[in-house]
Chains A and B, each alone.
Chain A
Amino acid sequence: MALVKGPFDLQWGSDTLAGIEALDVTYEVSSDDLETIQGNTYTIFGGHKVSAEATFLESDVASLAVVLPQYFVANAGTLSTGETVSDPAGAIDIVPGGVASPETHGLIITGAGSPGQVARIVNASTEISGFEIDKTIRKVKVKFSGEAGVDQATLQFFKEGAVSGVS
């Protein structure tokens, strides 16, 4: 038994994510309490939901384009406000409700060590969840929400290399 320490490597699918100040993971399991006339109380557990909010220190267009591809407008493309993008890095254009099926990939969080300990949020989609200016640095928050399929795990823990073809 041992601690799982950082620094952590983060990947969303095949893309490595850098400059993440903090990752705030929320795991919720819904439940209902049922009481019997005999005086017993039973807790019935229902649906599981997992999400992770990452605070990005590196929040330039190139960094955001990796985690918010649904909102990326390439060079020479047109923003929703009508302007043409004229930069090789492109732009991010967050249009509410503009994406029918956002990309989903596993969010793979690997601790230090070789092999490291891995936590994977299965089939995570992304959405912007916040933006702040902290004195001299702009930080952008992106929420990764697990969308596991039927009979599929929402969250997995394993040692690096113990599972083949992790994505």
Chain B
Amino acid sequence: MSNIVEAFAEYLESSSVATLGTDLFIGEAPTDPDALWWLTGNGGNPETKAATGERIKTYQVGVFYRDRSGKNVYDRLFALEDQLNSGSIDLTGFDTVEVQAITFPIDQDLDDEDRKVGLLQAQLTIYKGA
């Protein structure tokens, strides 16, 4: 079974944002290519516990984008925020309640090779049956 970050990566791939292993990575970013995405698991919390044992749980995922162009960084993250906050998204393998961007794109700093990095925070809410 995939974990929630892997399921989110699969969603980004299926919606043509990026390709896992090519320009989309989980946990850390390789040196190449310059333009790429990476995801980090940033914790979460149980939101609701039903009397019959089911739970609604919320996971936070950090979504980073790196590029030589600062404009590209913001544009790509801006487009992703709009995508996440429009309509209904299902994550394969999970009974998805909601996927949304909860912090909008933030321009981060330059990395060691003067590439620009931006970040947004995604929140993935799932329903887990007993």
Q: Are A136 and B97 in contact (CB under 8 A)?
A: yes
- CB neighbours (8 Å) of B54 from chain A are 18-19, 57-58
Also in contact, A17 and B97, with CB within 8 A (given A7-B130, A57-B127): no
- CB neighbours (8 Å) of B52 from chain A are 6-10, 17-20
Tell me the residues in window 45-91 of chain A with beta carbons closer than 8 Å to chain B beta carbons.
Answer: 57-58
Q: Are A21 and B50 in contact (CB under 8 A)?
A: yes
Instruction: Give the tally of cross-chain contacts (CB within 8 A).
Output: 44
Tell me the residues in window 112-148 of chain A with beta carbons closer than 8 Å to chain B beta carbons.
Answer: 136-137
A23 close to chain B: CB less than 8 A: yes
Q: Which of A9, A19, A21, A137 contacts B129 (CB 8 A)?
A: A19
- CB neighbours (8 Å) of B49 from chain A are 7
A95 close to chain B: CB less than 8 A: no
A153 close to chain B: CB less than 8 A: no
Q: Mark B88-130, 1 if CB is under 8 A from A, else 0.
A: 0000000001100000000000000000000000000101011
Nearest residue in B to A17 (C-beta to C-beta)?
B52
Q: How many of chain A's residues have a CB under 8 angstroms from any CB in B?
A: 16
B1 close to chain A: CB less than 8 A: no
- CB neighbours (8 Å) of A4 from chain B are none
Nearest residue in A to B50 (C-beta to C-beta)?
A21
- Point out which of B50, B56, B127 has the most chain A C-beta atoms below 10 A from its C-beta: B50
- CB neighbours (8 Å) of A137 from chain B are 56, 97
Also in contact, A136 and B98, with CB within 8 A (given A19-B129, A57-B127): yes
A166 close to chain B: CB less than 8 A: no
The distance from the CB of B59 to the nearest CB of chain A, in whole angstroms, is 15
A-B contacts besides A10-B52, A18-B54, A18-B129, 6 pairs, CB < 8 Å: A6-B53, A8-B53, A18-B130, A21-B51, A23-B51, A137-B56
Give me 14 A-to-B residue pairs in the complex whose CB atoms sit less than 8 angstroms apart, sorted by A's number.
Answer: A7-B50, A7-B52, A8-B51, A8-B52, A9-B52, A10-B52, A19-B54, A19-B129, A20-B50, A20-B51, A21-B48, A21-B50, A57-B54, A137-B56
